[in-house]
Amino acid sequence: MDQIYAVALHQIFGLQFNKHFLPLYEYYGSWQEMWERGHQAPPPGNMPLYMWEKFLERRKTLNPLALVQELERKKIKVVTRLEETFPATLLQIANTPCMLYYRGDLNFLQKKALAVVGARKASPYGLTQTKTIVQELAQHDLVIVSGLARGIDGAAHEAALAAGGKTVAVLGSGVDIPYPRENKDLYHKIGEAGLLLSEFPPGTQPLDINFPVRNRIISGLSSGVFIVEGQAKSGSLITCDYALEQGKEVFALPGPVTSPLSMGPLRLIQQGAKLVIYAQDILEELGYEYTYNLFNRHQEKIINITREEKELLNIIAWEPLHIDSILARWDIQRGNVYEILLKLELQGLIRQLPGKYYVKI
C-alpha cells in the first residue's frame, strides 16, 4: 500500500527524489504519512523549498491510486530501493535510483551480467562480432545488459535472445515508451522474454539528457562493460567511465586503426582495458569455466574445405571486401570465384553484403 504513495512522489519529483528518498522516509516513517501530512510544514534537512512547493501544488490534483492503476493497466511493475528484490549492485553506485519501473523478469538482475555497448552507426564488422561473441556469452548464462539503441545495443539484445539467453534493456525513457522506433519489435520481444527497465517515471520521453544518466545503471548492473565500437568521443565511453568509477572490468574489441569507430576501443585498450578476440577472453576474466571457443568451431568448419576455398577464405577479412578487390588478389577465373564464394557462404564462413561486398564471419 505504501508503494502507491512512493510512486506518486516520484511522479512529482522525478530523479531529484533519489537524493532525498532516504532522508524523507526516515523522517516520515512511511510515504503515506508524508502524503497525508507533508503539506503541513516543509521537512527538515536540505530539501529545497521549491521541491516542497511543487509537492504542495501537484498533491492537489494527483491521485496516487489512479496512478498505480494506470501502471497495472500497462503491466508495469515497480521496485523501490527499500525492497529486498531491488538489485543489490545498484545500492553500491553513486546516485542510486530510488525506484525502478520494469516489465519482464526482475530475477535476471540477481545473475552475473555483462554490459555490451557501442556505436549506433555500427559497421558490418562490429555487428558481426557482436552477434558472434554475445551469442556465446549468453549460452554461458551471462545476462546481457544494454540500452536498446540502434546499432551495437540492438545487435547485442538480438544475439542474446537468439541464443536463448537473458537480456536486460535499460531505457532512457519511461518503460512504456519504445525507443528508437526501428527497435519497437525488439522492445516487445525483450518485454516478453527478457527485462525492460527504467528509473524514469512512465510517460517520460527519450530526451538527450536522459541517456548519459541511465548509463550508470547499465554499468552498475554489470560485472563489466564490453565496448565493441565507438568514436573517440562516443557516448559509449561514458558507460565505460562509470564502470571504472564503480570498479568494474572494461573490455574492448579491437578494430582497424583506419576506422573512426575503432578509436574508442583502441584508446581504452591503450589505457588498460582487456582486449577481446573471443568470448572466452571475457568469460575467463569473469570467472567462468570455459568449455569451448569460437576458434575451435571455426577450425572444425574449415577442416574439410578444398585448397582453393582456403585460399579464398584467407583473402576475405573481417572488414567488408569488394568483389573487385577479391578478383584483383586472386588469379582465377571469375566464374569459379563466384562458385567458391557461394560454397563458403553456405558453410557459414563468409557473408555477402549489399553492393557485392564480402566479409568473414
Give tens-digit pLDDT for 125-170: 999 999 999 999 999 999 999 999 999 999 999 999 999 999 999 9
304-360 matches 106-291 in CATH topology: no
Relative to beta strand 249-252, strand 224-227 is: parallel
Q: Which three cell numbers stand for residue 181?
A: 522506433
pLDDT at site 213:
94
Please state, in angstroms and rounded to a whole number, the distance separating the CA atoms of residues 134 and 129.
8
At 297, the pLDDT band (50, 70, 90 cuts) reads low
Mean pLDDT of 291-296: 54
Exposed, middle or buried by CB within 10 Å (0-12, 13-18, 19+), for 24?
buried
**DSSP β-bridge partners for residue 167:** 144
Mean pLDDT of 231-242: 86
pLDDT at site 5:
96
Task: Decide which of 342 and 354 is more confident.
Answer: 342
Which string of DSSP letters, residue by residue, matches 139-198? HTTPEEEE---TTHHHHHHHHHHHTT--EEEE-SS-TTS--SGGGHHHHHHHHHHSEEEE
* Residue 104: strand, helix, or coil: strand
Is the domain defined by 106-291 classed in CATH 3.40.50.10540?
Answer: no
pLDDT at site 347:
82
Mean pLDDT of 21-49: 87
Asked if pLDDT for residue 48 goes beyond 70, the answer is yes
* Residue 81: strand, helix, or coil: coil
Please state, in angstroms and rounded to a whole number, the distance separating the CA atoms of residues 338 and 352.
11
Question: Nearest Cα to 156, choosing from 171, 136, 172, 140?
Answer: 136
pLDDT at site 335:
62
Mean pLDDT of 284-289: 85
CA 114 to chain centre: 9
Q: What percent of the chain has pLDDT over 90?
A: 67
pLDDT at site 160:
97
Question: What number does CATH give the domain 304-360?
Answer: 1.10.10.10
pLDDT at site 332:
64
Mean pLDDT of 342-350: 84
Residue listed under C-alpha cell 548519459: 212
The residue ranges of every structural domain in the chain are 2-73, 106-291, 304-360
Query: pLDDT averaged over the chain?
Result: 90
Q: Which three cell numbers stand for residue 149?
A: 539503441
At 324, the pLDDT band (50, 70, 90 cuts) reads confident
